[in-house]
Chains A and B, each alone.
Chain A
Amino acid sequence: QVQLVQSGAEVKKPGASVRVSCKASGYTFTGYSIHWVRQAPGQGLEWMGWISPNNGDTKYAQKFQGWITMTRDTSISTAYMELSRLTSDDTAVYYCAREREIRGYSFAYWYFDLWGRGTLVTVSS
């Protein structure tokens, strides 16, 4: 079954770090970039960045540069997102999503076709 399975909910204190995992199954992990998106309570979707499982290349949204790290372990088809120096503003559901790219002679499309179920990270003292 093609799916992304995320790690369980976390509760962290301000100033701590959190690492969320995203395990891929049912497809070739190295064939598709993995993105991370978060959603604060009652708010919209915020794109955080992506990692290429093939070569480890990353690209982060400017907002998160310096305090986010995305890694992967191809041996277990798992991507990770680590966020440091947490504050209460980081309380959110964190999703991983698979990027799909379709190319033709005169076109190219990119979109997220597969999502994890989300991991709730709560930052509270």
Chain B
Amino acid sequence: EIVLTQSPGTLSLSPGERATLSCRASQTISDSHIAWYQQKPGQAPRLLMYGASNRATGIPDRFSGSGSGTDFTLTISRLEPEDFAVYYCQQCGTSLWTFGQGTKVEIK
């Protein structure tokens, strides 16, 4: 089973600041297999990125993704008030899927 480790666990930032979230895999995976989700309290997760760097429909361009091999990054260039939430990376491989444990982006 591929384990995804996200860091940091919590990111305390102010609106307008840049957020950099990391997702590290326990073994090399294709960037095609990485997705990122945003979850707000009481809501289902929402797809942000797929294929590591492709924004989902309706996702603003302040969100970007990158990475390859075992290290992947989600960047929010300038935090808006609605961006404070929990973010999860996800991978799929050989029909088995896993999520990272999440990074909470909170208002400083």
Contact = CB atoms under 8 A, between A and B. Distances in A.
B95 A59 contact: yes
Nearest to B1: A62
B35 A115 contact: no
Contacts, number: 65
Interface in A79-123: 95, 97, 100, 102, 107-113, 115-118
A110 B102 contact: no
A11 interface: no
Q: How large is the interface on B (under 10, 10 to 19, 20 to 34, 35 or more residues)?
A: 20 to 34
A23 interface: no
Contacts of B8: none
Given A35-B97, A62-B1, A110 B45 contact: no
Interface stretch (A13-21, A41-49, A68-76): A41-49
Given A44-B102, A109-B51, A109-B54, A115 B45 contact: yes
A100 B102 CA distance: 22
B50 A45 contact: no
B26 interface: no
Interface string B86-108: 10101010011111111000000
Contact of B47 (A45, A59, A108, A111): A111
Given A45-B102, A62-B1, A95-B44, A110 B96 contact: no
A45 B45 contact: yes
A110 B97 CA distance: 10
A73 to B, nearest CB: 23
Nearest to B50: A111
B56 interface: yes
Interface of B: 1, 32-33, 35, 37, 39, 44-47, 50-51, 54, 56, 86, 88, 90, 92, 95-102
6 contacts: A44-B86, A46-B99, A107-B51, A110-B35, A113-B47, A115-B44
Interface of A: 35, 37, 44-47, 50, 59, 61-62, 95, 97, 100, 102, 107-113, 115-118
